[in-house]
Chain A
Amino acid sequence: MTKDNIFMKASNIKKVYAHSMGQLEILRGVNLEIKEGEALAILGSSGAGKSTLLQIMGTLDRPTSGELVCDGRDLLVMDDEELSKFRNAEMGFVFQFHHLLSEFSAIENVMIPCRVAGENPKLAQEKAMNLLEFMGLADRAHHYPNELSGGELQRIAIARALVRSPKILFADEPTGNLDSQTSLKIQDLFFQLKQEMKLAIVVVTHDLAFAKRFPKVYQMKDGQWVHP
């Protein structure tokens, strides 16, 4: 951690795709600093590059150029094994779709990151159950994804993202696939989690109302920030 409590810093991030008609610039030298426990939203229309930025910051994709430092470590020099461990320990992800594994029950889906980290299966199950209780889903722990509603599935996906107590949570349109009532509940859950777990949250959304609830909102257009 730096003196300014900057947990993650992305500098001059560029992402260019080779295209039959030439080169397609998705990100044009984006900079972003995220402080410890900070919550921010990234707004933008489709194709603005906000999801690509989130994926690069979450090490799910690599930039064409730029620097990415998290918790004092240069993420772009890490190999696959190191990055996987880092993701498992420090980062959580929530997507528009829940992406739960259909062969695993709710509690098993939540405990997967703990098992991947090599935690004792019993302890992992205990942690997963505590989180499901916190989410109000204890009675759904042994249900399979096809037996759960959209809101429940998304809450389980959030529990899976948080079970390893990450320092940062990346969410890409986490309410994009939910009805307005369930969406509000999930939004509330994010802010409750931020308070209780002191984790940094980066949310990419189309939803202006959701974005406005964040203390810091960035807007992106054509692969760069739109300055107010």
Chain B
Amino acid sequence: MNNTEEIKDDDFQIIGKQLEQMESISRPALSYWEDAWRRIKKNRIAFFSLVLLGIYVLLAVFVPIFSPYDYAEQNSANLSAGISVQNWFGTDSLGRDLFVRVWMGARVSLTIGFFAALLNAVIGTLIGGISGYSGGKADMIIMRLVEVLYGIPNLIVTILVMLVIGRGVISLVIAMTIVGWIGSCRFIRGEILRLKEQDFVLAGKVLGVPAIVIIVKHLIPNVLGLIITNLTSAIPGAIFGEAFLSFIGLGVAPPTASWGILAKEGIKMLRVAPTQLLIPAFFICTTVLALNLLGDGLRDAFDPKLRGED
């Protein structure tokens, strides 16, 4: 690095001003979303994950419609059958076709996962953003409130919600949202706290930009990557939440299936018919895997600082 002296004036050449080139835009004008989409398409792993999730969604929608079996139809002559031409995934301990049950379960689990995570992310980001940006007393009060909510045993909330509106997808989503937004709220607040001390925010403030504009135009895009990553990893969280509630007997009403219920039934059969656990477990795992990989891809795609790097 210490060889600056060796650079001589002769090494430089005057090329003059080229006004039209200075004003031209060196790459095509892309909106924030167009750019993100372009980048996600380039990220092969993330794109593949997206495709896989799409396939799962399609199967979840169509398999229960077109399958010759009903998800609740039992068959006492065909209990815990293995994989066969008639039953592609075998049958469960009540002789129900697992193929149709897995995709029926996908409907339930994916719906719960998506809506619980979405609601959590939206509520969490809003409250976390306000709390983090405003700071001071408002922040103090919101954070104490969050602590109170966090301390309330989830099970009480879940049982109460179920008592009021009955067992089902909606009550599970509501129960998970009441306590679930806290995680993303804390996370976003932490990020905002960090970002708001940075120079570009200070610059905005100095220029008299209103707080709401700073939050929406400057802070949120900066944390959007994190919000998206958070959202995609919150879906697995909600899928697991549903599985846990099913594990302790608070899942959706019978005879409906969900992946959590299938896995719970399966784990009891681990020694007798391992496929009954391994099949739902495979779909839970690959879904969560795909969501996580997609989340990572999205994070990179949305990150304004990584823009145009490739």
Mutual binders A and B: no
B interface residue numbers (CB < 8 A to A): none
A interface residue numbers (CB < 8 A to B): none
